[in-house]
Structure formats: C-alpha cells, structure tokens
Structure 1
Amino acid sequence: MNEPTGASVRQRLDYVPITRRPRLNLPGHARIAVWTIVNVENWSPTAPMPRAVLPPPMGQPLLPDVPNWAWHEYGMRIGFWRFLEVLAGRGLKATFAVNGTACSLYPEACAAARDAGWEFMGHGFVQRPMHKVDDQRAAIADTIRAIEGFTGKRPRGWESPGLTETDETLDLLAEAGIEYVADWVLDEQPVPLKTRAGEIVSVPYTVEVNDVVISAVQQQPSDEILRRGRDQFDRLYLDGKTAPRVMAISIHPYLTGVPHRIKYLEMLYDHILGHDGVMMWTGAEILDWYRNERTVP
C-alpha cells in the first residue's frame, strides 16, 4: 500500500507572483531556456492501456488490447528514431523521461539516448499512476536503480506517470535523492517545493505544449504542436526581456514521431533556433542554473 499521508499540496510552496521575486539572469542576457522531454514508457499488453486511439468494440474493454498497445509500440520501433534524428541534426539534447522497466524492454533506444548525451529522468517503474502503485518507495528506488545501472548515473529529475502524485510522493522522491520534479505545472520559472527531507525544485513542465494533450486528448490537427508551440515561445520570449522564462516541449514517440506530425516538430525547433538569447538546455541544466542564481548575492 502507499505510505502514510504527507503534506497537502498547498503546504508545499508559498504563493510568490513573478512580479515580486528576486531577479534571475540567464547567461549572456538570454531571455528563455527551452527543454525537450522525450517520454518512453512500458505499456503492458495484458493490462488496460494508459491511453487509447481506438475505443473497444461494443464499449467493452478487451485484453490483450492489441491495437492500442501496438499504437504505442510503433513509437518505439519507428517514432523514437525520428526524434533522435531531428534533435541530433540540430545539435540538441533531450531530457529522457523513462520508465525504469523500459531500460530492459527497449535497450537499443535507451542506449541511443544515453550515447547522444541525453539526460535520463525517472518516469515511474511502469506506466501507472502513483496512486495505483502498491509501494511507491520501492518503485522509486527500482526506477533509480534501473537508470543508474544502464547509464552509470543516478537520475536527478522525476516526472510521475500522468504527472500523478499522492500526498506522500514528493517526500519519498526527496528522500531518494531526486533533486527536481516536472509534475507541478504552475509556473514559468523554477520554484522550490517543501518536503520532509528538505527542498526539491519544480522545473517548469507543460500540459499545453504536450502531445498527449494536443494529439491524444484534444485530437487537434497534425500541425497544432507547431502553431501552439510557436505562439508559446513567442510570448515567453517577449516576457523574458524583463524576467527570464522556461519553456518545455513534451513529446512521445507514438504521437509526434508519426509521419504526419514530425515535420511540424522540426519547424518548431527551427523557429526557436532562429532567435538569439535562447538556451537549449536539459532539465538538470535548468536546475543547476536556478540553484546558482539563488546563491548569487
């Protein structure tokens, strides 16, 4: 079962609007830091799918759910490799949000991400809400162990499956040595969160420029990630003149990695890279910048 209840959500952080915070400065007077999160997950064909593209016949769920499992599996066979090519061709590194079990299920993809210098971030042990995990402490430890065993480095960041957290999750993550989380989609700058093991940092993530929301939930046209992502960047770049911002781009191989969407991701990156004053970073690089800025007198 889950651990005993921890702090409530509102107890984790103070309300400090961006208009009255100490000034943060990106290197070289940059305006914005952009990070890409590539999500790789373990969808069990014998369990209900985390998401579905086809409704079950007659409205009755059937297992194994071959078409919806295969929809996701396509991403690992094809879509992931498109991401690798798109990012490498532009000299970009992603943050790799990976289920711990995916390191053994998809070793070639995980090795390619590791060899490309991507940052590995914990994303649960399997793709299951944290509320449904029998032992969160063990699942977090197993995920960290799997990533460290595969890469030689402990993950510093964590994105819960579906951004789910119980009242105890943040405490358990901090106790396990996780330094930042991407679940708290409430700001455009990093913010500190309180845990019983000290501070953990929320690095700005997104449910707006996120292909699960765009393509799987809202079922927007193929070019929506470009239109929405470009508009998001343009405004954050403008606002970043007075207070630097962080933009996240969250993508999944089975969604944006398909043929009719991939060119719009390429166009989004090319739009962003056409501007000066942009830091293309990983989550850990954003964390290190933020911590350093807080120590500057």
Structure 2
Amino acid sequence: MDTAPDDPRRPENRLAYRAAVDRPRLTLPGGRHVAVWPVVNVEHWLIDHPMPRQILAPPTGASLLPDIPNWAWHEYGMRVGFWRFLEAFESRGIRPTLSINGSVCTAYPRIAEAAHAAGWEFMAHGFHQVPTHRVADQPEMIARTVAAITGTTGRPPRGWLGPGLTETLDTPDHLRAAGLEYVGDFVVDDRPCRVATRTGDLVALPYSVELNDIPLLAIQHHRADEFVERALAHLDRLAAEAAGSGPLGGAKVMGFAIHPYITGVPHRIHLLERLLDAILARDDAVFMQGVEILDWYRATGDAS
C-alpha cells in the first residue's frame, strides 16, 4: 500500500485520534453503564472457493477443492447451530444484531425469515463470505447486499461489517454513499466514534476481536469457557470505569460476536446461555442492537 501520509483515505486520517480521557462523559438510558451488543454472524460459504476457515487440514497440507469437510463444518451451523442461537435469545427476550451475507437471504431463506420474524436487526456483511479486497466492483457488491437484505426485511440495513472485517482504503466512502450509517470494522474504542468519508461521517461501533469465538476458539484454541470468563471480566471492568468519577467514566459499549458453527455446537451452546443469563442478572448493563446504540450515540451530540 503506497499512499501519502496525508491521504484522507488512510484510517488514521478518517478516524482522528481522540484519547479516551479527553472524550465527554456519556449516559445510557435508564442509568445503565454498559450497552451490550451481541452479534450473530451468518455467512454463505461457496463450495467452489477455498473455505474462509478450516477445522480440518487436508492430508497433503495443500488446499483442495471442493473442500467438503470444512464446508460441512460451516453448514452444520446453518442447519443446526443457528436454531440453538435463536432459542437461546428468544427464550430470554433478547434481540441481537444479525451480521448477514446478502446471499444468505436466498441461499438460506429459512434463517433470514426466522431472524426477521424474531425482531433481529440485520447488519450487512458483504454479499458472499469473500474478502473485500477481492471484490472487483465494491459499489455494486454493496448495492446488491443492501438490496438482498431489503428484500427480506422491507428496510435497508443501516450497519455494515466487512467479511473478516476487511476493507480497502475506499470502502468507507462506498459504504456511506450507499446509505450505510455505521460500521463495525474499526474496533478502536469502548464506545462509538466517527469515521470521515467524502459524503459525511460513518459511526464506528465497538464490535470485538477479543470477545469473538473465531479468534478465541478457532484460532487461539482457548478452552471454551474462556469465552464466558473473558466476557464477564471485560464487562466488570467497563462497568466499574463507567460508574467511576475518573477520566474514563461514562457509558461504554461491549460487543461480542458468535458464529453458529462454533458456539452453536452441543458442547458450547451452554456457554452462550450462561453468558446471557449472567448479563441479564445485572442492573448496570443492557442489551442493545447496533441501530439502538447508533441512535443513542447520535442523540448525545458527541462529535468525537
């Protein structure tokens, strides 16, 4: 990547540096200290492409097509794991954000329709699970994704998460031009901040690469219960800082991300249930969808 330091497309120029201790103190509705943002990711893995993730390497060590075992690993999540997620959230009255490839709406319409009926927010997640850098025409891909989701929900998505959080230098401009309002790819703060584009700001919401079952379990190979322990430790610290009178005080956001082929399996689903129950039992945290966090943040008037 060869760009001048003052290129406005560079991320450090799009997101002007703001020290957390210099930002104004914010307050959540109801006096809660932490907005918890659960994100369920559903994706369309194309069998004629290399799989986005692997649980089983081929005997030769070389990537083979078709990659049946790794395609099937993900497919289990769409056939079984997702429905465990749906029951876990619905039975507790929680409506998460659904990060969804646009093609899921036609490849897996049963999932898209069930999530919409349950009141889940749809956050666009590319059209297929393909890195943004490999997309020849980003504006067309974004428009196709927005159209697919709109066809299912009756309204365009307001948020975007790149497949694998991937973006090129031009992606924020394309997203804002297409009417997207928030993005999860810039995980730089414990609360929302603004991303400059040619046609106005996007809001960056605190998605997570730490409280995320892919890096935690599929890449770093932690014990499964590390997910719950880490999330609750994270929440304890954010809540204590938010309630305090120090320079880090004020409302925070805690995002966590799950995938049905990882956390939706029989030996891990109880961990999601345990985490949801622990958060529901607190009086200092509240579950919110991405659009709810976006609207709350804009209403605060914080320009940083």
Q: Smaller-chain TM-score range?
A: over 0.9
- Deviation per CA, 1:109-143: give whole Å up to 9, x if none: 11110000000010000001100111111000000
Is the counterpart of residue 187 in structure 1 residue 189 in structure 2? Answer: yes
Mapping of residues 111-260 of structure 1, within 5 Å: 111-241=113-243, 242-260=249-267
Q: Is the 8 A contact 1:38 1:97 kept in 2?
A: yes
- Deviation per CA, 1:66-118: give whole Å up to 9, x if none: 00000000000000000000001111001011001010011111111000000
Work out the percentage of aligned pairs sharing the same amino acid. Answer: 51
State the distance in 1 between where 2:199 and 2:221 align.
40
Shift in alpha-carbon separation, 1:295–1:204, aligned structure 2, 3 A: closer
Two-structure CA RMSD over aligned residues (Å):
1.3
- Which amino acid in 1 is paired with 2:286? M
Q: Is the 8 A contact 1:156 1:177 kept in 2?
A: yes
Which residue of 70, 77, 80 maps to 1:78? 80
Per the alignment, residue 3 of structure 2 pairs with: none
Per the alignment, residue 279 of structure 1 pairs with: 286
Q: 1:277, CA displacement in angstroms? A: 2.4
Q: Is the 8 A contact 1:6 1:167 kept in 2?
A: no
- Deviation per CA, 1:16-61: give whole Å up to 9, x if none: 1121112211112210000111100010111100000001111121
Q: Is the 8 A contact 1:6 1:168 kept in 2?
A: no
State the distance in 2 between where 1:42 and 1:206 align.
21
Per the alignment, residue 91 of structure 2 pairs with: 89
- Give 5+ residue unaligned stretches, structure 2: 1-6, 244-248
State the distance in 2 between where 1:113 and 1:6 align.
38
State the distance in 2 between where 1:6 and 1:235 align.
35
Q: TM-score, normalised by structure 2?
A: 0.94
Per the alignment, residue 102 of structure 1 pairs with: 104
Q: 1:295, CA displacement in angstroms? A: 7.0
Per the alignment, residue 266 of structure 1 pairs with: 273
Q: Is the 8 A contact 1:192 1:199 kept in 2?
A: yes
State the distance in 2 between where 1:264 and 1:51 align.
22
Q: Is the 8 A contact 2:8 2:14 kept in 1?
A: no
Which residue of 37, 40, 45 maps to 2:39? 37
State the distance in 2 between where 1:42 and 1:32 align.
32
Per the alignment, residue 64 of structure 1 pairs with: 66
State the distance in 1 between where 2:222 and 2:74 align.
18
State the distance in 2 between where 1:130 and 1:112 align.
27
Q: Is the 8 A contact 1:87 1:93 kept in 2?
A: yes
Q: 1:12, CA displacement in angstroms? A: 0.4
State the distance in 2 between where 1:10 and 1:249 align.
24
- Which amino acid in 1 is paired with 2:148? A
Q: TM-score, normalised by structure 1?
A: 0.96
Per the alignment, residue 246 of structure 2 pairs with: none
Mapping of residues 14-25 of structure 1, within 5 Å: 14-25=16-27
- After superposing the two structures, state which structure 1 stretch, 234-243 or 36-45, moved more: 234-243
Per the alignment, residue 10 of structure 1 pairs with: 12
State the distance in 2 between where 1:16 and 1:245 align.
15
- Which amino acid in 2 is paired with 1:148? T
Could you list the runs of 4 or more consecutive aligned residues of structure 1 that deviate by over 6 angstroms after TM superposition? none
Aligned length: 292
